[in-house]
A and B are shown apart, each in its own frame.
Chain A
Amino acid sequence: MARYIVQRLLYAIPTLIMISLVSFAIIELPPGDYLSSYIAKLEQQGSRVSQSELEALQQRYGLNQPVYVRYWKWISNFVRGDMGMSFEWNRPVKDLVMERIGLTALISLLSTLFIWAVALPIGIYSATHQYSLSDYLFTFIGFLGVGIPDFLLALVILWWAWSTFGVNLGGLYGPEFIGEPWTWPKVMEVVKRIWVPMVIIGTAGTAGMIRTMRANLLDELPQPYVESARASGLSETETVLKYPVRIALSPFVSTVGWMLPGLISGTTIVAIVLSLPTTGPLLLKALLSQDMYLAASFIMLLSILTVIGTLVSDILLVLVDPRIRFDDVQAG
Chain B
Amino acid sequence: MHKKQTFWRGVAYAFLLATLVAMLSACGATAPPPAEPSANDAPAADEAADTASADTESADTESAESSSDDAMASDTSAQESPMLAEMVAAGELPPLDERLPVNPVVVEVIEELGTYGGTWDMAVTGQADANGATSYSHEPWVIYDDTCSEWKPNLAEAVEISDDGKTFTFTIREGHKWSDGEPFTTEDIMFWYEGIAMNPEVSPSPPNILMAGGEPAVIEAIDDYTFSVTFAEPNGLFLPDLAFVFGDNIQTYPAHYLKQFHADYADADALAALVEEGGFEDWVQLISAKLDANVATNPDMPTLRAWKLTDIGPPWIFERNPYYYKVDTAGRQLPYIDQWRLQAVEDGQMVTLKAIAGELSYQARSVSFTDLPLYMQNQDQGDYRVIKAPTEHPLGLTIFPNQNYAGDDEFMKGLLEDIRFRKALNLAIDRDELNELIYLGENGDVADAFPLLADEPELFAHLTYDPDAAKALLDEIGLETDSNGMRLNPDGDPIVLSLDVFSGQSYMDGSQLVASYWEEIGLQTSLEEISYDLWWPRIDSFEYPMTAYVKDSIGGLARYVYLRSYAPVSSSSYWGPAWGTWYQSGGTEGTEPPADSPARKAQELFDEAKVTVDSARQLEILAEIERLDLENVWEVLTVGTGSNIKIVKNNFRNVPDVNYCVLYDSDAWAEQYFIAQ
Does B605 sit at the interface, judged by CB under 8 A?
no
Say whether, besides A30-B534, A162-B353, A47 and B245 are in contact (CB < 8 Å). Answer: yes
B664 proximal to A (CB < 8 A):
yes
Q: How far is the CA of A56 from the CA of B664 in the complex (A)?
A: 26
Does A290 sit within 8 A of B, measured CB to CB?
Answer: yes
Q: Bound complex: CA of A41 vs CA of B126, how far in Å?
A: 13
Q: Decide: A32 near B534, CB < 8 A? Known: A51-B584, A60-B285, A276-B346.
A: yes
- The reply to whether A41 and B128 form a contact with Cβ atoms under 8 Å apart is yes
User: B residues within 8 A CB of A36?
Assistant: 533, 535-537, 540
Size band of the interface chain A makes with B: 35 or more
**A90 engages B126 (CB within 8 Å):** no
Q: How far is the CA of A158 from the CA of B552 in the complex (A)?
A: 37
Q: Are B202 and A56 in contact, CB atoms less than 8 angstroms apart?
A: yes
A residues near B68, Cβ cutoff 8 Å: none
Q: A31-B538, A36-B540 are in contact. List 4 more A-B contacts (CB 8 A).
A: A45-B132, A52-B203, A166-B357, A276-B346
Pick out which of these stretches binds chain A: B163-171, B263-271, B337-345.
B337-345
Question: Does residue A244 face the partner (Cβ distance < 8 Å to B)?
Answer: no
Q: How far is the CB of A213 from chain B (nearest CB, A)?
A: 33
Supposing A60-B284, A289-B128 touch, asked if A272 and B347 sit within 8 A by C-beta, the answer is yes
Interface flags for A21-64 (1: CB within 8 Å of B; 0: not) read 00000000011100011011101111110111101100110000
Partner of A47, one of B246, B534, B535: B246
Q: Which residues of B contact A158 (CB under 8 A)?
A: 353
Q: Which residue of B lies closest to A92 (CB)?
A: B279
B347 contacts which of A47, A51, A91, A275 (Cβ < 8 Å)?
A: A275
B residues within 8 A CB of A142?
A: none
**Closest A residue by C-beta to B295:** A90
Using CB atoms, name the residue of chain B closest to A62.
B281
Specify the chain A residue showing the minimal Cβ separation from B313: A89
Q: Out of B298, B315, B353, which one reaches A179, CB within 8 Å?
A: B315
Interface membership of B677, Cβ < 8 A: no
Residue of A nearest to B552 (CB): A46
Q: Identify which of A52, A82, A288 gathers the most chain B CB atoms within 10 Å of its CB.
A: A52
- Which of B208, B298, B345, B665 is the one whose CB lies under 8 Å from A46? B665
How many residues of B sit at the interface, in one of the four size bands? 35 or more
Q: Are B206 and A52 in contact, CB atoms less than 8 angstroms apart?
A: yes
* Alpha-carbon gap, A275 to B533, bound state (A): 23
B118 within 8 A of A: no
- The contact of A31 among B353, B534, B570, by CB within 8 Å, is B534
**Across-interface contacts of A85 in B (CB, < 8 A):** 279, 289
Which 10 residue pairs spanning A and B have beta carbons closest together? A37-B533, A36-B536, A32-B537, A31-B537, A50-B208, A168-B357, A275-B350, A90-B297, A55-B204, A281-B346
Stretch at the interface among A8-16, A128-136, A170-178: A170-178
Q: How far is the CA of A85 from the CA of B347 in the complex (A)?
A: 23
B: residues with CB less than 8 A from A are: 121, 126-128, 132, 135, 202-209, 245-246, 279, 284-285, 288-289, 292, 295, 297-298, 312, 314-315, 317, 341, 343-347, 349-350, 353-354, 356-357, 359, 381, 393-394, 531-538, 540, 552, 562, 570, 572, 584-585, 664-665
A/B interface sample: 15 pairs, CB < 8 A: A30-B534, A36-B533, A37-B533, A39-B536, A40-B532, A40-B533, A48-B562, A82-B279, A88-B126, A171-B345, A179-B341, A276-B346, A281-B347, A289-B128, A289-B533
Would you call B536 and A37 a contact (CB within 8 A)? yes
Contact assessment for A32 and B536 in the assembled complex, using a CB-CB cutoff below 8 Å: yes
Cross-chain contact B343 with A56 (CB below 8 angstroms): no
Which residues of B sit under 8 angstroms from A55, Cβ to Cβ? 203-205
Quick one: which of A37, A43, A52, A89 contacts B207, CB cutoff 8 A? A52
Q: Are A46 and B341 in contact (CB under 8 A)?
A: no
A45, B344: Cα distance in complex, Å: 18
A281 to chain B, nearest CB (A): 4
Residues of chain B contacted by A178 (CB below 8 angstroms): 315, 341, 343
Specify which of A30, A52, A174, A275 is in contact with B345 (CB 8 Å cutoff): A275
A91-B297, A275-B345 given; A285·B126 CB < 8 A? yes
The reply on A271 being an interface residue by CB < 8 A is yes
Tell whether, in the assembled complex, residue A32 and residue B314 are in contact, meaning their CB atoms are under 8 Å apart: no
Q: In the complex, what distance in Å separates the CA atom of A166 from the CA atom of B382?
A: 9
Residue pair A271, B346 in contact (C-beta under 8 Å)? yes
Q: How far is the CA of A170 from the CA of B352 in the complex (A)?
A: 11
Cross-chain contact B246 with A48 (CB below 8 angstroms)? yes
| Chain A residue with Cβ nearest B564 | A48
Q: How far is the CA of A209 from the CA of B252 in the complex (A)?
A: 58
In contact, B128 and A170 (Cβ under 8 angstroms):
no
Q: Is the CB of A277 within 8 A of B346?
A: yes
A273: CB under 8 A from chain B? yes
Contact between chains at A277 and B314 (CB < 8 Å): yes
- Shortest CB–CB separation between residue A180 and chain B, in angstroms? 11
Q: Chain A residues near B572 (CB, 8 Å)?
A: 43, 48
CB distance from A294 to the nearest CB of B (A): 11
For A57, give the chain B residue with the smallest CB separation: B288
Chain A residue with the shortest CB-CB distance to B249: A53
User: Which residue of chain B has the shortest Cβ distance to A170 in the bound complex?
Assistant: B350
Q: In the complex, which residues of chain B have a beta carbon less than 8 angstroms from the beta carbon of A47?
A: 132, 135, 245-246, 665
- B533, A288: Cβ atoms closer than 8 Å: yes
| B216–chain A nearest beta-carbon distance, Å | 10
Q: How far is the CB of A75 from chain B (nearest CB, A)?
A: 16
Question: A202 to B674, alpha carbons, bound, how many Å?
Answer: 45
Inter-subunit contact A51/B350 (CB<8 Å): no
Are B343 and A175 in contact, with the CB atoms below 8 A?
Answer: yes
Task: Provide the bound-state CA to CA distance between A274 and B562, in Å.
Answer: 38
Most chain A beta carbons < 10 A, residue from B208, B347, B562, B572: B347
Q: Is the CB of B205 within 8 A of A51?
A: yes
Contact of B128 among A88, A91, A175 (CB under 8 A): A88
User: Would B347 and A56 count as touching, CB distance under 8 A?
Assistant: no
Contact across chains for B536 and A46 when beta carbons are under 8 A apart: no
Let me know if B208 and A51 touch, CB within 8 A: yes
In the complex, how many angstroms separate the beta carbon of A57 from the nearest chain B beta carbon? 8
Q: Distance in Å from the Cβ of B206 to the closest Cβ of chain A?
A: 6
Q: Are B347 and A273 in contact (CB under 8 A)?
A: yes
> A53 contacts B532, CB within 8 Å?
no
Known: A37-B533, A37-B536, A51-B585. A175 touches B208 (CB 8 A): no
Query: CA separation between A59 and B127, bound complex, in Å?
Result: 21
What's the least CB distance linking B230 to chain A, in Å? Answer: 19
**Chain B residues within 8 Å of A88, by CB:** 126-128
A90 near B289: Cβ-Cβ < 8 Å: yes
* Residues in chain A near residue B341, CB distance under 8 A: 178-179
Q: List residues of chain A with CB within 8 A of the CB of B246.
A: 47-48
Report the separation of the CA atoms of residues A88 and B312 in the bound assembly, to the nearest whole angstrom: 13
Whether the pair A32, B533 counts as a contact (CB closer than 8 A) is yes
Q: In the complex, are the beta carbons of A52 and B359 less than 8 A apart?
A: no
CB-defined contacts of B317 to chain A, threshold 8 Å: 179
* Bound-complex Cα distance A91 to B295 (A): 13
Q: Which residue of A lies closest to B210 (CB)?
A: A52
- Residue numbers in A under 8 Å from B538 (CB-CB): 31
Residue picked from B353, B381, B585, most chain A C-beta under 10 Å: B353
With A50-B208, A89-B127, A281-B346 given, is the CB distance from A166 to B353 under 8 Å?
no
With a cutoff of 8 Å between Cβ atoms, the chain B residues found around residue A48 in the complex are 246, 562, 570, 572
Q: How far is the CB of A105 from chain B (nearest CB, A)?
A: 18
Check A44 against B359 for contact (C-beta < 8 Å). no
Interface string of A258-285 (1 = CB under 8 A from B): 0000000000000111011100010001
* Shortest distance from the beta carbon of B85 to any chain A beta carbon, whole Å: 23
